[in-house]
Each structure stands twice: as C-alpha cells, then as structure tokens.
Chains A and B, each alone.
Chain A
Amino acid sequence: MKFTEQHEWLKPEGDEITVGITEHAANELGDIVFIELPEVGTTVAKDDEIVVIESVKAASDITAPVDGEITAVNDAIVDEPGKVNEDAMGEAWFFRIKPSDPSQMDDYMDEDAYKTFIG
C-alpha cells in the first residue's frame, strides 16, 4: 500500500488502484458529513480535484493520485459519510481508478515513510 502527502491510501488490486483516506486524515477532519464522488467512467488527470469531503469543520478536496479512468465508487459512504470516521482504511474506500501510467505510483510513500510524514 502507498500513501500520498494528501493523506490518501492507494492499494493496487490487479490493474486498478483502490483509493481512500487515512485514519489520521479522518481524525483530523473530524465528523464527516458530506462526500461527493466522481462518476464512474470519468477520465481524470493526476492532481484533478475529484472528491469533495465536508466535515463538521470544513470542506476539503481529494485529488486524483494518477492519470486514469474511474472504474468504481463507494456509494455507501455518500449515503453514510460517518463510515469514513469508523473505518477509513477498510470499508470506507472512496473510488477505484485504472491508471494509464502505473509508474506514477512510484513517487508515493510506503507506510513507514507516511508514518514519519505525519509525525
């Protein structure tokens, strides 16, 4: 599993990557009350803002970690955004993306590096 500086976790599964936010990010955001996900089939570029998360405190964005196509989204967290606070690293994944250039994954941190990053 890899991690971005924007506190996303990236889990390669076959030729797709499942993306969510880390438990650390969920704790920092506080109670999450609204999530907007991209549409399945959308082609996105790395760094595009494709997810909106609103917590009781503020709104924030999640960007696409790589170029590619959105192949699935987790509607369950749209219906119940609080699931992200309960199980950020598991059930409450956000979307799956099929990267057009898998080598873009190489830039991201492994778990140890992420732990150092968040201190």
Chain B
Amino acid sequence: MSELRKTPLHALHVELGAKMVPFAGYEMPVQFKLGVMKEHQHTRGKAGLFDVSHMGQVILRHEGGYAPVAQAMETLVPVSLLGLGEKRQRYGFFTDSSGGILDDLMMTNRGDHMLVVVNAACKEADIAHMKAGLEGIEVAEQRDRALLALQGPAAEEVLEPVAPGCDIMKFLDTGIFNSDFGELWVSRSGYTGEDGYEISVHATHAEALARHLLAHEAVEPIGLGARDSLRLEGGLCLYGHDIDTDTSPVEAGLAWAIQKARRRGGAREGGFPGADRILSELEEGTARLRVGLSPEGRAPMREDTPLFANDEGGEPVGRITSGAFGPTVGAPVAMGYVPAELSRPGSRLFGELRGKRLPVRVTELPFVPTNFKR
C-alpha cells in the first residue's frame, strides 16, 4: 500500500488532537476533541473550519478565454457553462456513455478561464478524463493550494476582516481577495447546507490562515465525521455512495442541475456522454429515485441496509446509500433508492436491520432547512 498523502494542515490537525484516518489516499482528521456530535452542532450554531485540501483544484485554460473552455466542458457535463455568469459557480457532474455519474464537481467562471473542484477519490481519473476529453484546453491541477471550508451562520463575520467585501457575496458567488495570507480564491458555497465559504489559499499560507480563523471564538475545527452527518442532513450526495456510475443524474434527483439549454429543445441540447438516456429520463422519469428516509425507531440504518415494500417476504425493492444519526434532527436519517411508486414523501418501507424489518418513511430532502445566503 502506498504512503498516505498529507495536506498542508496535517501538522496542525495533529497538534489540535485530531483522530487521523485514511481517506481517499490522504491522512485526514475524522474528528477533533469535541467529537462528531458536538462538531456537527457547533457548525450549525456558529462556524466550523474544515480542511478539504484533499479535493482537486484544477484550472482549465484556453487562449480564447472562458467561452471555449465552457464549450469544451459542456461535452463532458450536462450543465450550461456558457450560460454561467462571470464569478459565478455551478454544481454539476461528469457523466459516462451509459448515463452514469463519474464524479460530481463545482465549476466557476473566472472571467478568462474556469476553475473546477473535484472529489479527492476521483481527482486523478477526473484530470485524465478532462485531458483526454478537452481538446486544446490546458488542464492544470493546483497542487500548491490548500482548500478550507468555513461553514455556519458565523462564517461571514469571521471571514469579513480577512477578505473585506466577502459579506456582500451571495450563494455561489466567487471572488479573488488579496489578504495577509496571499491571494484567496473565495466562493460562497460548501457542503453542509449552511451558509459559508470555501477558501483556496496557497499552501505556504494555509496553516497561518487556519490558525487565524480558529482564533475567532466562534470557530472550531471540524472533522470528516461531522462533515458527513452535516451533508447528509442537508440532503447532499456523497460520490461513491449516493451517486456513482450505476446511478443516473435523474435517478439521483439531480435533474435541477441540468439547465434548460442542455435539455431537449434547448439551445445546446445534449452533446454530453449518456445524453440519450439522460434526456429521455428527464421527460419520461425513471423506475427508481433517490429519496430521504427517516427510520421510525432510534436505530440508524446505514449504507447497504436493504429496503423492502412489506414487513415480511419478498425481495428487496431498494437500498440505503447513506445513513447515520442526524445530530440536528435528533434521530436517524438516511438516503437511498426506492421504486418511483414508493418515492412520495410519507411512503412507508421497511429496512432490514440485524434480521428485523423496521419501518422507515420517505421524507422530503433536506432534513434540515438550508441556510444559504440567496
């Protein structure tokens, strides 16, 4: 097994007493001293600082500027990128020829080029995919930059003195700020369902910036454990679990991320891998759908718990893809795939746990209302 990679904040995590675990080829903090439950609640109540430097930051460039990059990327993702405003960020996914999802990512129009952020576990494959699929485009991973996420209702007041003007940014706005910590690439986004920012900083300044943010009384360091329960309560997909090459964007409930321009009858209809399947699913629906699930008891139903239509007999009709205890909800929460006819909120299914079938109800996502600055 190859050695685990370390982010520029590794030494700080260890100093702060983090429990370090292997994750996507990196040694990452799963929790700090507060523990998962309190870290989760602290993020929803005040502000949490996450190290997401393991994710891939990639700049896509063409001598013709942003438009040719956007045009090329539209052949890999079913998202309108030519329609993305300057300094705006958009969520999307790479699809494969059978309409499955290769990875999900964030894309930003940076005026004369595009910045994309991809998942750690997929980044090598994503970069190879872009290099192969984007003719004439320079694909440059920014390996000398760290990425921090500052999430929670206090994020704005914490970051404003560091990046003056970041307070007027709205959800999915981005900006470049000159700061005491060098050039910061800031987006008003994140993956917790809370307001907040993602801040790309040069590796040489990353630890100093993290220490500065942590010195604010509202901020605590947060590990991957709470990141997972926060995103789950926020109804957000985790790649490799809720979405993968076996799930289409429409099955995954991500049709909202496919703008009109890329749909049938749109100005730039199709033209991405798997378009035939995805465009027809957008009109005709799918046999199964990703839904929120609330187990009725107190026992969490975790990934791979089989779901049944009845309390006895029959074959599984679905499966849980993410499940945990939701600290803000105060009860177990889960997501999974169920047949379309059982996907309406309120529908009752049964999850099989330790040989027992326990009732679980389809619930509207997100479990916790999002708190984005619109």
Which residues of A does B touch, CB under 8 Å? 30-31, 33-34, 36, 52, 54, 56-59, 82
**Quick check: A52 and B354 within 8 Å, CB to CB?**
yes
Contacts of A31 on B, CB cut-off 8 Å?
A: 35-38, 327
Docked complex Cα distance between A36 and B353 (Å): 12
Determine the residue in chain B with the shortest Cβ distance to A36.
Answer: B299
What chain A residues lie within 8 Å of B30 (beta carbons)?
57
Given A30-B31, A34-B325, A52-B354, also A57-B36 (CB < 8 A): yes
Contacts of B298 in A (CB 8 A): 33-34
- The answer, among B38, B325, B354, for a CB contact under 8 Å with A33, is B325
Please tell me which one of the listed residues A33, A56, A59 contacts residue B225 in the complex, with CB atoms under 8 A apart: A56
A82 to B327, CA, bound (A): 12
CB closest residue in chain B, given A81: B298
Chain B residues with Cβ below 8 Å from A82 are: 37
Enumerate B17-53 residues with CB–CB distance to A below 8 Å: 30-31, 35-38
| B300 interface residue (CB < 8 Å to A) | yes
Cα distance, A103 to B18, chains bound together (Å): 42
Residues of B within 8 A of A56 (CB): 35-37, 225, 229, 324-325, 327
Would you give the 0/1 interface string for B335-357, flagging 1 where the beta carbon is closer than 8 Å to chain A?
A: 00000000000000000001000
Partner of A34, one of B35, B36, B38, B300: B300
* Alpha-carbon distance between A33 and B302 when the two chains are bound, in angstroms: 13
Shortest Cβ distance from residue A82 to the other chain B in the assembled complex, whole angstroms:
8
Interface residues on B, range: 10 to 19
Q: Which 9 A-B pairs have the closest CB atoms?
A: A33-B325, A31-B37, A56-B36, A34-B298, A34-B299, A54-B300, A31-B35, A30-B36, A31-B36
Chain B positions within 8 Å of A, measured between CB atoms, are 30-31, 35-38, 225, 229, 298-300, 302, 324-325, 327, 332, 354
Kindly state the separation between the CA atoms of A31 and B31 in the bound complex, as whole angstroms: 11
- In the complex, what residues of B have CB within 8 A of residue A54's CB? 299-300, 325
Question: Interface centre among A31, A34, A36, A82, by most B CB within 10 Å?
Answer: A31
Q: Is the CB of B354 within 8 A of A57?
A: no
User: From residue B111, how far is it (CB to closest CB) to chain A in Å?
Assistant: 42
Can you name the residue of chain B whose Cβ is closest to the Cβ of A52?
Answer: B354
* Chain B, residue nearest A58 (CB): B302
Alpha-carbon distance A21/B32, docked complex (angstroms): 23
What are the residues of chain B within 8 A of A58 when measuring CB–CB? 302
Q: Which residues of the partner chain A approach B299 to less than 8 Å between Cβ atoms?
A: 34, 36, 52, 54
Q: List 7 A-B pairs, Cβ < 8 Å.
A: A30-B36, A31-B327, A33-B298, A34-B332, A56-B36, A56-B37, A56-B225
* Cβ–Cβ < 8 Å partners of A52 in chain B: 299, 354
Shortest distance from the beta carbon of A13 to any chain B beta carbon, whole Å: 29
Extra contacts besides A52-B299, A52-B354, A57-B36 (14): CB < 8 Å? A30-B35, A30-B36, A31-B35, A31-B36, A31-B327, A33-B37, A33-B332, A34-B299, A34-B300, A56-B36, A56-B327, A57-B225, A59-B302, A82-B37
